[in-house]
Copies of this chain bind each other. A is one copy, B any other.
Amino acid sequence: MTTPNAALSSRAAAVMPWKNGLYGHMTTASLPSGYPQFYERGEAARVWDVDGNSYVDLMCSWGPIVLGHHHPDVDAAAGAQQALGDVLNGPGRPMVELAELLTDTVGGADWAMFAKNGTDATTICTMVARAATGRSAILVAEGAYHGSAPWCTPRLDGTIAEDRGGVERYVFNDLASVEAAVQRRDGDVAGILVSPFKHDAGHDQELVTAEFARGLRAICDRLGAALIIDEVRAGFRLNLGGSWDDLGVAADLSAWGKAMANGYALSAVTGTASLREAATRIYVTGSYWYGNVAMAAALATLKVLREEDGIARLRSAGQRLRDGFAAQAEAHGLSINQTGPPQMPYFTFEGDTERRRLRLFAQQALANGLFLHPGHNWFLSLAHTDAEIDRALEASEPAFAAVRDQVEAGAVGA
């Protein structure tokens, strides 16, 4: 019998560029069999695929869903704005209110501007840094993902060498490599772009060291370059004031997206007063960038995060999940490396270099109603209540057991 997911996959393969799955990060091409490509709906911490399977969802639509699907405050605000108007001949009140809220919330931010994609936001940051300094190079960490425009997309097909002519590489958490990159550009550095922590797909996560964060700040100050933090993936999950606020490090420019509007399409850049004039000189725009509905959704989302102690609740949910994973792994005699902040958890199995155990775990978790991705960090939302985390752990327990069985059978590595 053909399932709805299989039927839609066949239809998509006929009318879309399709290679065992969709283009982009949501493709199933690299996933174990059994992962659905098409989804039906979402509600709080759960998602349903088109075959009717429901999952406790640890991907949160790859980040945007930070309060849970259909949070009543967000949907009410968005719905009320939709009834007035979304994309008009110019922006409306919600944009100004959101710029006020962002500059009030994010440490060091004196202004905000808005776009649609995370890539728009990171690209705007490079443009503001270049306009302000008159310099060319943007330093970017090896392996870091900052979007899919030709200057930053991780795959070279369809790009030309010039697209990356302004990019110079360093190694995350390695200040000497940053200094070497500065040297290679003879100091012609407009900005240093960095993620709040290393969350490269397919790798263990790595938190930033205080030395590195403060060292980047000092290098940027010395050079008169912009410190650009790409908060698109992690922003508003670690610290509402900026992901490095705890370290006492504020960005000159920050790129925001995903969590800021609980799934409504919006990204933003915030910057310091000294870069405001440069920001007025660049020309960036988009047909839908001033749409009111996403702004209204973002206002509601950030208010909930602020007023309901969102960060602490996300961290607590992540820690409960992490503690449960640790106990289950230990009970089955399996060693796992849990990395990154609890709000964006991820683990790999010790010595599982080909990810065979992790893929088996993910596949078994999926079959038991827990959705996570074996090659990308996970995300928590405020809808991940204790009961939902416990349900996730009910699904992960037999997945760990399956891994243990296959390890004992010698089927997934030593």
**A interface, CB within 8 angstroms of B:** 8, 11-12, 15-19, 22-26, 28, 36-43, 47, 50, 57, 59, 61-65, 69-70, 75, 82, 84-93, 95-96, 99-100, 102-103, 110-113, 115-120, 123, 126-131, 136, 148-151, 153-155, 157-160, 162-163, 165-166, 232, 257-258, 263-265, 267, 271, 276-291, 294, 371
Instruction: Given A148-B285, A265-B265, A279-B17, decide whether A116 and B116 contact each other with a Cβ distance below 8 A.
Output: yes
Residues of B within 8 A of A126 (CB): 150, 158
Q: Are B283 and A11 in contact (CB under 8 A)?
A: no
Q: Smallest CB–CB gap between A172 and chain B, Å?
A: 21
Instruction: Given A16-B113, A89-B39, decide whether A157 and B283 contact each other with a Cβ distance below 8 A.
Output: yes
Complex A-B: 8 CB contacts under 8 Å: A15-B103, A17-B279, A23-B280, A24-B290, A126-B158, A157-B278, A158-B282, A162-B165
Instruction: Given A15-B99, A91-B39, decide whether A157 and B287 contact each other with a Cβ distance below 8 A.
Output: no
Q: How far is the CA of A47 from the CA of B91 in the complex (A)?
A: 12
Residues of B within 8 A of A157 (CB): 127, 131, 278, 281-283
Q: Smallest CB–CB gap between A55 and chain B, Å?
A: 8
Q: How far is the CA of A88 from the CA of B54 in the complex (A)?
A: 13
Residues of B within 8 A of A75 (CB): 82
Please tell me which one of the listed residues B85, B284, B287 contacts residue A232 in the complex, with CB atoms under 8 A apart.
Answer: B287
Q: Smallest CB–CB gap between A221 and chain B, Å?
A: 21
Q: Are B91 and A22 in contact (CB under 8 A)?
A: yes
Residues of B within 8 A of A257 (CB): 287
Q: Smallest CB–CB gap between A268 and chain B, Å?
A: 11
Residue of B nearest to A17 (CB): B279
Please tell me which one of the listed residues B69, B89, B90, B281 contacts residue A158 in the complex, with CB atoms under 8 A apart.
Answer: B281
Q: Smallest CB–CB gap between A370 and chain B, Å?
A: 12
Q: How far is the CA of A165 from the CA of B161 in the complex (A)?
A: 9
Q: Smallest CB–CB gap between A367 and chain B, Å?
A: 16
Instruction: Given A15-B112, A157-B131, decide whether A64 and B47 contact each other with a Cβ distance below 8 A.
Output: no
Residues of B within 8 A of A89 (CB): 26, 39, 47, 57, 59, 61-62, 371
Q: Are A85 and B69 in contact (CB under 8 A)?
A: yes
Q: Are B286 and A24 in contact (CB under 8 A)?
A: yes
Residue of B nearest to A258 (CB): B287
Instruction: Given A11-B96, A116-B288, A286-B117, decide whether A42 and B153 contact each other with a Cβ distance below 8 A.
Output: no
Q: Are B87 and A64 in contact (CB under 8 A)?
A: yes
Please tell me which one of the listed residues B110, B130, B371 contacts residue A160 in the complex, with CB atoms under 8 A apart.
Answer: B130
Q: Smallest CB–CB gap between A392 and chain B, Å?
A: 15
Q: Are A8 and B62 in contact (CB under 8 A)?
A: no
Q: Smallest CB–CB gap between A328 and chain B, Å?
A: 23
Q: How far is the CA of A153 from the CA of B159 in the complex (A)?
A: 18
Q: How far is the CA of A41 from the CA of B130 in the complex (A)?
A: 37
Residue of B nearest to A232 (CB): B287
